[in-house]
Amino acid sequence: MKIGFFISDLTNVFHQMQYTEAKRYAMEKYGAEVILFDGKS
């Protein structure tokens, strides 16, 4: 399973931490991979 995670700017430390936690949670709870979509890329 894959889950999309959208953020506005990966250079923002808050968004980096959100992504890190999303990856951990998705793998732990659902065995899923998180795919990041960065709005600034």
Tell me: the pLDDT tens digits for 1-41?
A: 999 999 999 999 999 999 999 999 999 999 999 999 999 87
Secondary structure percentages of the chain, helix, strand, coil, to 5: 45, 30, 25
Identify the pLDDT of residue 40. Answer: 84
Query: Per the structure block, which two tokens stand in for 31?
Result: 């065995």
pTM, rounded to two decimals: 0.81
Backbone angles phi, psi at 40, to 5 degrees: -90, -10
Residue 22 pLDDT? 96
pLDDT of the residue at 31: 98
pLDDT confidence of residue 16: 95
Domains of the chain, residue spans: 2-38
At 6 the three-state DSSP class reads strand
